[in-house]
């Protein structure tokens, strides 16, 4: 019998709850002009960053974020037991080439934009289970690499509908550790793949909202907790309309989260930045968590948060074949102890 | 099992209907006004080129028409290269997609985008990734029209 | 007057495209295919000729005009060369535009790099 499971989808870290001992975030130019600019560690002057391609620029953001996290914790790559990482590109090339440079034992994960909490969930289980002391979790995305893979060439003159979202250029991550100072990961609720038949790739918020609502509901049921037990409930990249749908879906289930709920996709850009519904991408929840939320926890403004990164798991091929967009959300609880 | 599928389908339909009711609709009136204006301007420029070709270079209708197309394609390619066509397209929508300049933009933009994957498999192969279907369907349809004329009308 | 007719005709064709984009979620690639093919069909039916007579460049510059050139070329080809012309006529009539798109597309791609959006 697994002793650390509660309910259908949640695990509790009891023996040795992993701590977040270091964090870092790097973002692109546009993100650096948004309301959270002061929380990011580095802002690129241009999105190519002197590299030969957008993909190489994303890779460098990934590597430098990882190095920054290690420097701050005063750790060498050789001291890190595992790197859990993912990104949006085919065959997760950013994470894999990043792992090649870092030389840390690596599990590459694909969870689309849910990668941040997906990697932290697994990394935390490794530590609490006694299989690791230090696990590095990093994810990244880049507007230009995602746009060309999932949508249109950059220079093509097309209009974006009001529900369209803007992929965040950035990389963010955390170092989980069995010892040291920092907020703890106490629970992880693994999401199911949920699909309510939304096909419009320009309305990802609607595709992912049911997954977010499903995972949050499962978390509340498994733990016996409610929204009032958290200072803040956070979702990954549902943006303006997906956020509203999540509130409504959970209200139907009897949970009112509205007064303590933010979506990372609504936080990164301001209204004037012309991003339509909001932000998306693996880096969306990664940089908001690593830059903004963990800083607020350090400052004592937040003590216990529930964060669920959300991912749309379609590919261009599945979309072209007429399939709808399957989605997922993984939730973790971060709590400041002592 | 079937009843479950039917139930899920119903839930999905209700959800989709609800989800689509949340966001504001694209402002079709403004969009159409912009499309009309920009599309109209591009065609007026085309008319001017056409008239110059006819009146100053003594071209016949077909020659003038081809000259107009080539010139507009060149202008659109340059604007795309300079990153300006995308900015026009953001406001103009169909106004800059439907004219021949949009065809040019749809050839130039993937070619630029894929340069880093090489000159043959990047630029060469990807150039027609968006506009290729236009030629496939346009040319095929024209052959059908030609054959109909050959067998039934001529 | 000629310019006003071109402006109105071209503008209206684009408005039809815009309504399709806003109401049906058709991507621009599909709009291009649809309009070019419609141009061919309407020319085959003898309808588009009237639009061109009225609108001039307003009818030939939008994508249905590309279809118009293709279909007219094919019909002309059949008249001059018989069945071979059905195959060669369309491309011959539009060869200039296609070659220009290829050459200018190639040169632009070589000379310019795509820019990130802000």
Chains that touch C (3 or more CB pairs under 8 A): A, B
Chain C within 8 Å of B40 (Cβ-Cβ)?
yes
Q: Looking at this predicted complex, what is its ipTM?
A: 0.94
Chain C residues closer than 8 Å to A154 by CB: 114-117
**Each residue of B118-144: pLDDT tens digit?**
999 999 999 999 999 999 999 999 999
**pLDDT band for position C116 (50/70/90)?**
confident
Task: Tell me the C-alpha distance between B102 and A157, whole Å.
Answer: 8
pLDDT in tens, A124-158: 999 999 999 999 999 999 999 999 999 889 899 88
Three-state DSSP state, B139: helix
- For residue range C46-73, what is the model confidence (pLDDT) as tens digits? 999 999 999 999 999 999 999 999 999 9
| Nearest by Cα to C72 from C9, B76, C53, C10 | C53
**Test the B interface: residue of C2, C4, C5, C11 with most B CBs within 10 Å:** C11
B27 — pLDDT class (breaks 50, 70, 90): confident
| Cβ contact C116–A159 (<8 Å) | no
- Cβ pair B103, B138 in contact under 8 A: no
The nearest CA of chain A is from the CA of B46 a distance in Å of: 19
Q: Which residue of A has its CA nearest to B28?
A: A161
Give the pLDDT score at A338.
Answer: 60
Q: Report residue A18's pLDDT band, with 50, 70 and 90 as the boundaries.
A: very high
Contacts for A76 with CB less than 8 Å, ≥ 6 apart: A70
CA distance A238 to A200: 14
Tell if the CB–CB gap between C75 and B149 is shorter than 8 Å: yes
Chain C residue numbers with beta carbons less than 8 Å from the beta carbon of B49 are 57
What does the block give as tokens for C75? 């019909």
CA distance A151 to A232: 33
pTM attached to this predicted model: 0.94
Closest CA to A261 of A308, A191, A196, A298: A308
User: A156 and C116: CB-CB below 8 Å?
Assistant: no
Residue by residue, DSSP assigns A89-131 as: SGGGHHHHHHHHHHT--EEE---GGGHHHHHHHHHHHHHHTTS
Question: What is the DSSP-derived secondary structure letter of residue A85?
Answer: E
Is the CB of residue C81 less than 8 Å away from at least one CB of chain A? no
Given B94, B106, B144, which is nearest C21 (Cβ)? B94
How far separated are the first and last CA of chain C, in Å rounded?
41
pLDDT of the residue at A190 = 98
- The arithmetic mean of pLDDT across residues A185-201, rounded, is 96
Chain A, nearest residue to C118 by Cα: A30
Q: What is the pLDDT of residue B154?
A: 64
CA distance A93 to chain B (A): 15
pLDDT in tens, A284-331: 999 999 999 999 999 999 999 999 999 999 999 999 999 999 999 999
* A14 CB-contact burial (10 Å; exposed 0-12 / middle 13-18 / buried 19+): exposed
Of A155, A157, A196, Cβ closest to residue B15:
A196
Chain C CA closest to residue B74: C104
Distance, first Cα to last Cα, chain B: 60
pLDDT for residue A199 is more than 90 = yes
Q: Residue B152 corresponds to which tokens in the numbers above?
A: 């039934």
Quote the CA–CA distance of A25 and A2 in Å, as a whole number. 35
pLDDT digits (tens, 9 = 90+) for A81-105: 999 999 999 999 999 999 999 999 9
* pLDDT for res B153: 82
**Comparing B2-6, B68-72, C18-22, C94-98, which segment has the lowest mean pLDDT?**
B2-6
pLDDT at B145 over 80: yes
C54–B contact, CB cutoff 8 A:
no
pLDDT (average), residues A32-43: 97
């Amino acid at each position: 019998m697994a002793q650390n499971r509660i309910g259908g989808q949640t695990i509790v870290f009891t023996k040795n709850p992993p701590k977040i001992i270091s964090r870092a975030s790097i973002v692109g130019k546009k993100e650096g002009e948004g309301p959270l600019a002061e929380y990011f560690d580095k802002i690129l002057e241009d999105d190519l960053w002197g590299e030969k391609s957008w993909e190489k620029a994303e890779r460098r953001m990934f590597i430098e974020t990882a190095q920054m996290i290690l420097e701050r914790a005063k750790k060498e790559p050789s001291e890190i037991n595992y790197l859990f990482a993912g990104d949006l590109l085919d065959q997760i090339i950013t994470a894999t080439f990043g792992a090649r440079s870092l030389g840390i034992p690596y599990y590459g994960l694909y969870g689309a934009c849910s990668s941040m909490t997906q990697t932290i969930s697994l990394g935390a289980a490794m530590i609490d289970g006694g299989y690791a002391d230090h696990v590095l979790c990093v994810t990244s995305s880049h507007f230009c690499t995602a746009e060309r893979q999932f949508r249109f060439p950059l220079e093509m003159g097309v209009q974006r509908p009001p529900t369209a979202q803007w992929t965040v250029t950035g990389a963010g991550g955390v170092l989980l550790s069995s010892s040291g100072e920092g907020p703890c990961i106490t629970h992880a609720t693994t999401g199911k793949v949920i699909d309510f038949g939304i096909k419009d790739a320009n309305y990802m918020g609607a595709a992912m909202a049911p997954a977010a609502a499903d995972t949050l509901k499962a978390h509340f049921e498994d733990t016996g907790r409610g929204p009032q037990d958290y200072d803040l409930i956070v979702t990954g990249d549902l943006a303006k309309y997906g956020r509203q749908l999540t509130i409504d879906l959970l209200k139907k289930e009897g949970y009112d989260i509205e007064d303590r709920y933010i979506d990372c996709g609504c936080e990164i850009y301001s209204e004037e930045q012309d991003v339509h519904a909001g932000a998306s991408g693996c880096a969306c929840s990664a940089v908001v968590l690593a830059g903004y939320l963990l800083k607020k926890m350090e400052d004592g403004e937040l003590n216990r948060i529930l964060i669920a990164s959300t991912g749309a798991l379609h590919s261009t091929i599945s979309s072209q074949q007429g399939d709808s967009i399957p989605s997922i959300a993984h939730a973790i609880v971060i709590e400041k102890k002592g | 099992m079937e009843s479950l599928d039917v139930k899920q389908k119903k839930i999905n339909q209700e959800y989709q209907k609800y989800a689509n009711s949340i966001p504001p609709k694209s402002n079709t009136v403004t969009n159409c006004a912009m499309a009309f204006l920009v599309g109209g301007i591009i065609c007026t420029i085309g008319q001017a080129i056409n008239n110059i070709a006819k009146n100053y270079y003594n071209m016949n209708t077909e020659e003038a028409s081809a000259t107009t197309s080539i010139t507009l394609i060149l202008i659109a390619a340059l604007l795309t290269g300079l990153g300006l066509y995308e900015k026009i397209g953001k406001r103009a929508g169909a106004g800059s997609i439907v004219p021949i300049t949009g065809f040019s933009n749809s050839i130039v933009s993937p070619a630029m985008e894929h340069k880093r994957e090489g000159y043959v498999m990047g630029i060469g192969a990807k150039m027609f990734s968006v506009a290729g279907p236009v030629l496939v369907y346009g040319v095929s349809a024209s052959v059908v029209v030609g054959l109909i004329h050959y067998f039934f009308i001529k | 007057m000629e310019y006003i007719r071109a402006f109105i005709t071209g503008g209206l064709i684009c408005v039809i495209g815009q309504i399709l984009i806003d109401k049906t979620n058709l991507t621009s690639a599909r709009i291009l295919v649809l309009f070019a093919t419609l141009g061919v069909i309407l020319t085959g039916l003898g309808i588009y000729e009237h639009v061109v007579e009225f609108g001039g460049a307003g009818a030939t510059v939008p994508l249905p005009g590309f279809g118009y050139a293709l279909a007219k070329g094919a019909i002309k080809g059949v008249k001059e060369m018989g069945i071979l012309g059905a195959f060669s006529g369309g491309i011959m009539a539009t060869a200039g535009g296609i070659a220009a798109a290829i050459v200018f597309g190639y040169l632009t791609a070589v000379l310019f790099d795509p820019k990130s959006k802000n």
